[in-house]
Amino acid sequence: MDNFKEIANKTLNAIFDMIEKNYAHLDVDFEQENLRIEKDDKVFILSVHNPSLQIWLSSPLSGAHHFEFVSDKNNWTGTRDRKLQLTEMLKNELDSLK
């Protein structure tokens, strides 16, 4: 995918903006190319993994997940569970921290 890095970075920026807007009780910041989201002792890490063309999520609630961009759906889909969508899954997990 020629524009992988651009799409991945736009996605992380959109997630950052979503958290800033809708989840004031969470701390969110970029650490190098990783997006770190935390509340108390719970830390989520989203990272762009260039070699596999994926975004990886490390979640304190559900563990590790890998997502690949599916252009015809314009979404990041789980590589092990094709029903998982990155943003939807993340919103569900962050909502549970309220």
Segment 21-40 shows an average pLDDT of 95
Q: What is the CATH number of the domain that holds 43?
A: 3.30.920.10
pLDDT recorded at residue 98? 78
pLDDT at 1: 64
Confidence of residue 13 (pLDDT cuts 50, 70, 90): very high
CA pseudo-torsion sign 69, 74, 76, 77:
negative
pLDDT tens, position by position, 32-81: 889 999 999 999 999 999 999 999 999 999 999 999 999 998 999 999 99
Question: Structural domain of residue 48, as residue ranges?
Answer: 4-95
Number of folded domains in the chain? 1
Nearest to 28 by CA among 38, 43, 18: 38
